[in-house]
Amino acid sequence: MQKTGEGMVTVGYERIKRFAFVGSSATKQEWSDRLDALAEILSAAIAPTVYAQPSEARSEDWLSKINGTHKQFFDAVTVNDGWALGYAVNFLNANNEAYKLADNSLSAVVGLRHFAAPLGLTDVIWAKYELGEFFKLNDPATKQPLARNMYFHAHEGELLLPDMSIDRFMKRGAIFTVCNVAITVLSSLTAKAAGVTPDEAKTEWTAGVIGDAYRSRRGACGQSSARERVFVLLRWLRRR
């Protein structure tokens, strides 16, 4: 690991690949466990440098947006057909319908970390880095690998619940955070396929976080911060 420039940390693609790639025959669980371990290493190494930089100042701004009487944090670690979004939407809908509570009295926060982080990225990033192919996600219409973030602005009928579409969910006051460690790791893993360096990929992914979402220093930190705000924490477990 090499420190360069304004406190930025560069992680060589080949070095990450040797650690993160466990072979074409690896199971999803082996991939997941390896990325968990790699995220721990990267976050420990980056903490003294990147976290202190002014560019990270916005990363915890989302905490000041929590103003609902009833609060819930949804921890998403995989795309999993968008089910973390579905449960978060259901939190709002159920309170609306059963208890006649308005959206402005509810705070739903969805933390996108680990393999769920790309849910918080723009179509441009999904297309350039071939994330549909990387995550084995197909477009329902074409049956080809997704070249856009279907969960950000879904077409009619693509998702189980219309309000699962992130753009619509945000209009109801939902807060989204995207894990910076996941951005660092996954952008490095996909950089070569996009024909860029890991540094360039990290810069593009950081700029490609969808509007009004917040880049959290680390997904686990977001959970901790949420607990301190007296949240109920629901983790949507990865599919085995």
216: confidence class by pLDDT, cuts 50, 70, 90: confident
Whole-number Å distance between alpha carbons of 172 and 91: 12
Contact 101, 107 (CB under 8 A): no
Whole-number Å distance between alpha carbons of 220 and 240: 21
Residue type, 191: A
- C-alpha closest to that of 204 among 129, 117, 114, 115: 129
Mean pLDDT, range 32-51, rounded to an integer? 49
Report the percentage of the chain scoring pLDDT > 90.
Answer: 57
Residue 29, pLDDT score? 62
pTM of the model: 0.72
Which residues is 230 bridged to in the sheet? none
Instruction: Evaluate if residue 201 carries a pLDDT over 90.
Output: yes
Mean pLDDT, range 184-194, rounded to an integer? 96
Domains, in order of start, for the chain: 58-236 (3.40.1260.10)
171: confidence class by pLDDT, cuts 50, 70, 90: very high
Mean pLDDT, range 47-75, rounded to an integer? 65
Instruction: Evaluate if residue 142 carries a pLDDT over 90.
Output: yes
Q: How many CB atoms lie within 10 A of CB 201?
A: 27
Contact 188, 16 (CB under 8 A): yes
Residue of higher predicted confidence among 129 and 36:
129
